[in-house]
Amino acid sequence: MSPRRPLSAVAIALLVSLLAPGCFAVANLDRFEVEPPACTGNATEERDYNWRVTGLFIPHPNQLFEMKVIETTTGDVAASIVYDGVPNDMRASVAGTLRNSLLPGTYRTQFWADRSMSRAFEFGGDDHAWIEAVPDNGCFSFEHAAPFDADVAPTDDDLKGNVSLRMLGMPGEHAGNPLIFRVRVERAAGLREVGYYRLDVIPTDVMGAPHLTLFDIAEEDSVYVVSVFVDADLDGKVSAGEATFDSPGLVASPDVSAAVDLGSL
């Protein structure tokens, strides 16, 4: 495959129910691409959510894997992470960081792997699922192991919206590579990351492809930035020459939708 050319032009359609006119700027996004800091936070302060789940490659390659970070007192979803599917390349790891994701409080992580390949959680079936506490420092580490009897059936929160990305156009040289998008909410205190989605393989034909969706992470009238890139070198972060796009601020109403024309990246 030929090396990635620099992004010269991006034609992208952004679809949203309510869009504030040109008043939100994207700034300091590069700070989200640095190595994660030491785990020194605590439950009384805002901190990053760091995850590392090992042992998924042998039983779950290419399967859908979803994590939700939930505040223990309120039950609110603080962040959503999806691997669609689990990378079958050992250079990739099911690990990462969402900056400033955890507000003061305590959290649990509900996560599952789609062993039945149905793309829907089936409690009591073949799917593997767990519920584990998040350490107060925000660094969550877990190694795949039994038992797998946790009921993590997703709920549709009427007070929270979803963030979706639709792929358009002809992928061209991007086909076969992973696509990653992150979701950040704008605040006076700076951007806070609440979503991460990794599609393991961009299909050669995206006509009819489903939306890539992170559920229950958008709040009505809050402003969200959707950041997209093609991870050609499989290192999980933006590298020189990789195609990228950062949306303007999108106001949730309560859902947020964006569409990227892969043929123009």
Tens-digit pLDDT profile for residues 98-146: 999 999 999 999 999 998 888 788 887 888 999 999 999 999 999 988 8
Residue 31 has pLDDT above 80, yes or no: no
pLDDT number for residue 17: 34
pLDDT number for residue 16: 35
Summarize the confidence of residues 189-209 as an average pLDDT.
Answer: 93
Q: What is the per-residue pLDDT across 17-26, written as a single tens digit (0 to 9) for each? A: 333 333 333 3
Residue 182 inside a domain? The answer is no
Domain span including residue 206: 12-169+187-264
Tell me which of 134-143, 155-164, 234-243 is least confident: 155-164
Mean pLDDT of the chain: 83
Residue 30 inside a domain? The answer is yes
Residue 155 inside a domain? The answer is yes
Please, which pLDDT band fits residue 167 given cuts at 50, 70 and 90? very high
Number of C-beta neighbours around residue 170 at 10 A: 14
Summarize the confidence of residues 16-38 as an average pLDDT.
Answer: 42
Total domain count, the chain = 1
Residue 70 inside a domain? The answer is yes
Q: What is the per-residue pLDDT across 71-82, written as a single tens digit (0 to 9) for each? A: 999 999 999 999
Residue 220 inside a domain? The answer is yes
Please, which pLDDT band fits residue 155 given cuts at 50, 70 and 90? low
Please, which pLDDT band fits residue 33 given cuts at 50, 70 and 90? low
Residue 130 inside a domain? The answer is yes
Residue 4 inside a domain? The answer is no
Q: What global pTM score does this model have?
A: 0.85
Contacts of 191 (CB under 8 A, 6+ apart): 28, 29, 32, 99, 100, 184, 185, 225
pLDDT number for residue 135: 97
Residue 3's Cβ-count burial label (10 Å; 0-12, 13-18, 19+) is exposed
Summarize the confidence of residues 192-220 as an average pLDDT.
Answer: 94
Residue 257 inside a domain? The answer is yes
